[in-house]
Amino acid sequence: MSSELSSLLVRDIGEQGLLERLQRFCPQDIVGDDAAVLPFPNSGQSLVVTTDVLVDGVHFSDRTTSPEDVGWRAAAANLSDLAAMGASPLGITVGLNVTGDTSVSWVEGVYQGLSDCLQQYNTQIVGGDVVRSPIVSLAITAFGQVSPSRIIRRNAANVGDAIIVTGVHGASRAGLELLLNPDFGKHLQNDERSHLIQAHQRPKPRLDVLPTLGKILDSPLPITLAGMDSSDGLADAVLQICRASGVGAELERTQILFPLVLHQFVTPDQAMNWALYGGEDFELVLCLPPEPAKTLVEQLGEGSAVIGTITTGKEVWLRDRADTFADERLTLNRGFQHF
Amino acid sequence: MSSELSSLLVRDIGEQGLLERLQRFCPQDIVGDDAAVLPFPNSGQSLVVTTDVLVDGVHFSDRTTSPEDVGWRAAAANLSDLAAMGASPLGITVGLNVTGDTSVSWVEGVYQGLSDCLQQYNTQIVGGDVVRSPIVSLAITAFGQVSPSRIIRRNAANVGDAIIVTGVHGASRAGLELLLNPDFGKHLQNDERSHLIQAHQRPKPRLDVLPTLGKILDSPLPITLAGMDSSDGLADAVLQICRASGVGAELERTQILFPLVLHQFVTPDQAMNWALYGGEDFELVLCLPPEPAKTLVEQLGEGSAVIGTITTGKEVWLRDRADTFADERLTLNRGFQHF
């Protein structure tokens, strides 16, 4: 080993740089989506697996989040990764690092939150490990099942596809703002405030979309499908799908919906920023031909919308049919940036 | 929440106490074995999942273990949990916590060790997550597949079953001793030393036993089967099986084999201690009726042996047919104790 190599530290290349170097240890065909997809032998079905690690002080904090919400949000994020692949959940495992000073009721609160969220989707914690450690950290692995013809991949968008969202964006980011700045939006009605805060503390993975989507895919002619979830923001989702599929997109600003109540306490520009870049709304962003896309939007109802079209080229543009805002080109650098 | 409850800390009840309290969040029928077993829908097959968390300074150390060996041992422990359930591996995920000061080559060494071990068993790393954290920690989830009729459970041992081991015990513990005390056993030949050290650094999960076992189970009459791996020691494995099955056992001291070379540098009593309590040999301990047990031992060959019999009652006794040693009653307290 050269001394140069051995002296390179994680801080020199960052988590993203390290992840890229580690990908050579994984099979190339199953890296780069929300979750790994493997054939489950002798079943004609696929197994879908996703892992998230959450560290106290980095991904959650005792000071701003109840243990029940830490658990709920962790479960929701993992179930959303399964939904993003088209998979139904089978269970999760939890690898827990706790310190000697961690309160038992805090740990039980996290598990209660995990269980509460999982129960909504008829699934459960099936195992795990608990170890003593200098820090508190949670490693969650969720696994699910999908029929190979129903897998949703990032890299399958085609020019001419409609881009749809399964719900409004920006609610989670607005809820976070209300938690961070209690004076902000204080003239909102209680149910409006709590709706936004709930969107942040108890996000809902869109597993409910899968049966509706499944019926539309059961057409005589095969329907191509691409997509992912919007956990890192709507802009990021569209950009990731376009990058993986080698295509571009045009989004129509007037079609990107945020909760109406946002008009009462932020500018339209701020609301659009939260919708595009806020993240953690856990909606699905799907690309499919215009006709089935329209049917899906109609069946999903309120909040679901066609927001744009897949184009040739590699650029993603946000256009304004109303001509109030200048056209804006979206880029991954901005998409990764959390406010 | 009462203030008494909220003030209880993890250090007050320990990891084992915490694990017991957390079991109420898991379905009762899938807790308490080496891994969780779930039906995989529409397949007639079962999915087996196991999770281990390893913390730097607790479960491994830079100072005594190369990163490649950390990776190999972590993969081997998880694959052994699958083998203990009768399951063939489909893949693992890795949730990695690293500090900014962690060397990139160390991380790559761990992944190399994981991959090297997995490759021996035709499986691989299929995904994971990397996060920055104040400590280094690895959460590994392994998943595998088993036909429901081939599942090996701890709680299925019957009175009259033969207890067999798939190989010798004590080699891993002896290898650790040679690493900790280089002067110890210095008159051993190089290949003898390296064989023992290899047993500690590169243990082999006994997935190779499953096809042989499968053929024996394919008999016209159904054969009952119980078992687990000996990762926490041979004594612990027998005691856990007996506790879960509500039975006792008699082990025959002369049948418990340790590597012959141990005679050259420790007393027979010390060698037997290592075999019974040393741990990390990753052999399988199986209980099945005497006839198929005998066939299995013959087919597995060297190192495999019938070591005792399942009895009524709940006690586990170590007898000495040669009458050199007094009968000894084994208990879980001692079994959990690592030297």
Same-domain status, B256 and B116: no
- For residues B49 and B34, what is the distance between their CA atoms, to the nearest angstrom? 9
Q: Is residue A7 part of a domain?
A: no
Q: Give how far the C-alpha of residue B120 lies from the chain's centroid of Cα atoms, to the nearest Å.
A: 18
Same-domain status, B135 and B18: yes
Backbone dihedral angles phi then psi of residue B115, each to the nearest 5 degrees: -65, -40
Query: One-letter amino acid identity for A117?
Result: C
Task: Name the nearest CA neighbour of A79 among A43, A48, A37, A46.
Answer: A48
Same-domain status, B134 and B158: no
Same-domain status, B117 and B26: yes
Q: What is the CATH number of the domain that holds A91?
A: 3.30.1330.10
Contact yes or no for B105 and A8 at CB 8 A: yes
Q: Give the range of the structural domain holding residue B107, as residue numbers without chain letter.
A: 3-149
- The residue out of B102, B121, B149 marking a domain boundary is B149
- The residue out of B130, B149, B168 marking a domain boundary is B149
Residue carrying the six token digits 């939006």? A185
pLDDT-derived band at A339, boundaries 50, 70, 90: very low
Indicate which of A93, A119, A143, A146 best probes the interface with B, i.e. most B CBs within 10 Å of its own CB.
Answer: A93
Q: B126 to chain A: nearest residue by CA?
A: A26
Same-domain status, B113 and B236: no
Q: What is the CATH number of the domain that holds B168?
A: 3.90.650.10
Q: Is residue A230 part of a domain?
A: yes
pLDDT digits (tens, 9 = 90+) for A93-134: 999 999 999 999 999 999 999 999 999 999 999 999 999 999
Q: What is the ipTM of this complex?
A: 0.90
Total of domains in chain A: 2
Q: A29 to chain B: nearest residue by CA?
A: B126
Same-domain status, B97 and B181: no
Tell me, what's the pLDDT at A255?
A: 95
3-state helix, strand, coil in chain A (%, to 5): 40, 25, 35
A residues 66-125 closer than 8 Å to B (CB)? 90-91, 93-105, 107-108, 111-112, 114-115, 124-125
- Chain A residues in contact with B104 by the CB 8 A cut-off are 5, 8-10, 12-13, 18, 21
Tell me, what's the pLDDT at B283?
A: 98
Query: CA gyration radius for chain B?
Result: 20
Q: Is residue A9 part of a domain?
A: no
Same-domain status, A330 and A241: yes
Same-domain status, B242 and B297: yes
Give the one of A25, A49, A58 whose C-beta lies nearest to B131's C-beta.
A58
In DSSP terms, A47 is beta-bridged to A38, A145
Same-domain status, A108 and A166: no
CB of B130 within 8 Å of a chain A CB? The answer is: yes
Chain A to chain B Cβ contacts (< 8 Å): 267
Q: Which two tokens stand for residue A303?
A: 């909040």
Same-domain status, B140 and B162: no
pLDDT digits (tens, 9 = 90+) for B171-219: 999 999 999 888 888 889 999 999 999 999 999 999 999 999 999 999 8
Residues B62 and B69: beta-carbon distance below 8 Å: no
pLDDT at residue A325 tops 90 = no
The annotation status of A304 as a binding-site residue, yes or no, is no
pLDDT digits (tens, 9 = 90+) for B153-184: 999 999 999 999 999 999 999 999 999 888 88
Same-domain status, A194 and A278: yes
Give the one of B12, B58, B99 whose C-beta lies nearest to A131's C-beta.
B58
Q: Is residue A178 part of a domain?
A: yes
pLDDT-derived band at A336, boundaries 50, 70, 90: very low
- The residue out of B108, B125, B149 marking a domain boundary is B149
Contact yes or no for A99 and B127 at CB 8 A: no
Tell me, what's the pLDDT at B187?
A: 87
Q: Is residue A169 part of a domain?
A: yes
pLDDT digits (tens, 9 = 90+) for B63-92: 778 999 999 999 999 999 999 999 999 999
Pairing mode of beta strands A316-319, A248-252: parallel
Same-domain status, A201 and A276: yes
Pairing mode of beta strands A137-146, A316-319: unpaired
Q: Is residue A18 part of a domain?
A: no
Q: Is residue A12 part of a domain?
A: no
Q: Is residue A3 part of a domain?
A: no
Tell me, what's the pLDDT at B3?
A: 47
Q: A59 to chain B: nearest residue by CA?
A: B131
